């Protein structure tokens, strides 16, 4: 089972709940996919079913073997699925979530948590635990609940059964009903530190120097680090630099056409913006005379070129706008308009 990477503050808090016997009836863990909220939720739930007293599931006792195989009668995992998803696919996905909470396949855009899934949880919680003393349920991507699902869940949160725990995992807490948020103990998972990501990648067998480069370029997201590792890092970095090169110095007609094409592929936009942000942050580091922290040290001439194109204030504004554009990508807004607006700003800022 994958351990929780980094997030020492959150891990310390959750361990404290167990040691002090102050486990709430509902937890809300919020963080971008890949920052550890899912891993922490599954680990915490499984600890309650482990027969050995420790901060992590022992993975050897009867309780751990059952939770690992999704055969424990007192643990359920809810995950967004499309209405016609086959049961075989459902079970395969849930096993993948338990085995690798950082790298499992994300739900389809139109997948939701149905009211039938919530009603199943309610039936489970209506009875006492079959084994041990706790009933637990982890609702992955709880921000994908349909309105009727959220209202049904609210009833359970308002009158929670004893010795029961529901853990909601979300990346966009603001889409939840305020009444649901108010009935949960909230815990935020910020972006990971590059050092923690580097260590985790090395433990997975990646060479130290490449692990460091990947860790610094993935924006504090271990899921993204795994995707970068699996792809061609140099190619992704080069594409992001060409994107910035076109925004600052490219011909108008050619740049407009390229942005129009890029906007049609949401994942490609995510890739380009993530790595473009790394280039711009390198330019900031160079301006601050911190060359040793630059990600693209092997392409220092290109970093210098970007650093020369902006003053510090405008470069910071450009990074901030790029972060906003990435958030737009996550909210499924009109990316083409966002990219064109970003282009106009960059042209206005560049020297």
Stronger pLDDT, 130 or 83, i.e. the higher one: 83
Q: Which one-letter DSSP state was computed for residue 302?
A: H
Those residues with Cβ within 8 angstroms of residue 230's Cβ, 6 or more apart along the chain or in another chain: none
Average pLDDT of 235-255?
Answer: 87
Q: Are 211 and 90 in contact (CB under 8 A)?
A: no
Query: What is the CATH architecture assignment of 8-188?
Result: 3-Layer(aba) Sandwich (3.40)
C-alpha 189/C-alpha 11 separation (Å) is 10
Pairing, β 75-78 against β 26-30: unpaired
Looking at residues 102-110, what average pLDDT do you find? 86
For tokens 């096993």, name the residue.
95
pTM here is 0.71
| Span 87-98, average pLDDT | 89
pLDDT score, position 232? 67
CA torsion angle for 175, 179, 184, 187 (degrees, to 10)? 40
232-349 is a CATH 1.20.272.10 domain: yes
Domain boundaries, the chain: 8-188, 232-349
Q: What does the pLDDT read at residue 331?
A: 62
pLDDT, residue 1, reads 44
pLDDT value at residue 72: 87
In the chain, the percentage of residues whose pLDDT exceeds 90 is 23
Query: What span, in angstroms and rounded, lies between the C-alpha atoms of 297 and 290?
Result: 11
Q: What is the reported pLDDT for 315?
A: 81
Nearest to 158 by CA among 22, 315, 26, 292: 26
3-state percent helix, strand, coil for the chain, nearest multiple of 5: 60, 10, 35
Closest to 43 in 3D by CA, of 73, 79, 7: 7
Q: With H, G, I as helix, E, B as strand and everything else as coil, classify residue 68.
A: helix
């Amino acid at each position: 089972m994958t351990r929780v990477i980094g997030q020492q503050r959150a891990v310390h808090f959750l361990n404290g709940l167990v040691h002090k016997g102050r486990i709430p009836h509902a937890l809300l863990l919020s963080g971008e996919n890949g920052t550890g909220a899912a891993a922490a939720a599954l680990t915490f739930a499984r600890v309650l079913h482990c027969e050995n007293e420790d901060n992590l599931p022992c993975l050897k006792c009867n309780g751990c073997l059952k939770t690992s195989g999704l055969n424990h009668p007192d643990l359920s995992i809810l995950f967004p699925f499309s209405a016609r998803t086959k049961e075989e696919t459902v079970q395969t996905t849930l096993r993948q979530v338990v085995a690798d909470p950082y790298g499992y396949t994300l739900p389809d855009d139109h997948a939701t948590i149905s009211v039938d899934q919530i009603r199943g949880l309610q039936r489970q919680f209506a009875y006492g635990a079959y084994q041990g003393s706790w009933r637990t349920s982890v609702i992955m991507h709880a921000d994908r609940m349909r309105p009727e699902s959220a209202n049904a869940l609210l009833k359970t949160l308002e009158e929670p059964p004893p010795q029961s725990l529901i853990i909601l995992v979300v990346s966009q807490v603001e889409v939840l009903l305020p009444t649901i948020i108010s009935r949960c103990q909230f815990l935020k998972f910020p972006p990971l530190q590059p050092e923690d990501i580097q260590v985790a990648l090395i433990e997975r067998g990646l060479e130290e120097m490449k692990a460091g480069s990947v860790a610094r370029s993935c924006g504090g997201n271990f899921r993204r680090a795994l995707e970068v590792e699996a792809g061609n890092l140099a190619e992704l970095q080069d594409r992001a630099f060409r994107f910035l090169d076109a925004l600052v110095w490219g011909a108008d007609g050619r740049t407009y056409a390229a942005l129009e094409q890029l906007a049609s592929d949401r994942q490609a936009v995510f890739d380009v913006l993530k790595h473009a942000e790394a280039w711009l942050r390198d330019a900031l580091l160079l301006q601050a005379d911190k060359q040793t922290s630059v990600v693209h040290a092997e392409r220092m001439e290109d970093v210098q070129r970007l650093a020369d194109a902006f003053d510090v204030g405008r470069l910071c504004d450009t990074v901030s706008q790029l972060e906003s554009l990435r958030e737009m990508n996550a909210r499924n807004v009109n990316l083409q308009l966002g990219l064109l607006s970003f282009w106009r700003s960059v042209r206005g800022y560049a020297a």
